[in-house]
Amino acid sequence: MNTRIGVVTFPGTLDDQDARRAARLAGAAAVSLWHKDKNLHGVDAVVLAGGFSYGDYLRCGAIARFSPVMDSIIEAAGQGMPVLGICNGFQVLTEAHLLDGALMRNEGQKFICRDETLVVENNHTAWTRALGAQKTIVIPLKHGEGNFRADPETIKRLEGEGQVVFRYQDNPNGSLNDIAGICNPKGNVVGLMPHPEHAVEPGFGASLGGENRRGVDGLGIFVSAIQAVLG
């Protein structure tokens, strides 16, 4: 039986279809999850996709955090289910206190859209185990509020306990310590600002691996979740 990866759709979500396609290309069965439905429909892992949930009113991710589906996701994450938040999904995870810190306006107050080089700092999470330590990947980035902030003690703890998962090679937004993605202490919940679901098919997007790998640097993140579920 295929691993079932659920992808949540909030009002304003843009990349849910892309995330479901990425899950299928990785070898999983993709399951649509609706924000008003508490039922996770037997999924083995969950992706909170990018976009502008509830129009980013009040604060990015602040309203989505109170959607009924989040109650079930918070409970499942506490029991060890792999959960990935991409861009706006990362913002939702911080609002839900599943991840530390907050995402603020980019330095320069401008929306950024470009291919971004990331260094994999922790390949022992549920979403990076198929990637090599210190591996460099290139995946697209598109956000206006991706500037990761946290108090000094939190940053010290994240760094000291290996919870920094991805780091920008060329910081695009002012994030502290070049942080592009983090995880919870257990490593089953991961959030990152760049979009791996847009780099899962050969021939599209950038890659450091040459034309034979062009565009697939994000696929390993979804493959990792399958490996984590299957043990």
Please, are residues 133 and 75 in contact by the beta-carbon 8 Å criterion?
no
Query: What span, in angstroms and rounded, lies between the C-alpha atoms of 11 and 67?
Result: 10
Residues with Cβ within 8 Å of 28's Cβ and at least 6 positions away in sequence, in order, are: 2, 3, 4, 5, 45, 222, 225, 226
Strands 102-104 and 179-183 come out as unpaired
For the question of residue 95 being annotated catalytic, the response is: no
For the question of residue 113 being annotated catalytic, the response is: no
For the question of residue 195 being annotated catalytic, the response is: yes
Query: What span, in angstroms and rounded, lies between the C-alpha atoms of 113 and 93?
Result: 22
Catalytic annotation, pick one of 35, 60, 87, 183: 87
Catalytic annotation, pick one of 35, 143, 195, 198: 195
Query: What span, in angstroms and rounded, lies between the C-alpha atoms of 130 and 120?
Result: 11
Point out the residues that are catalytic. Answer: 87, 195, 197
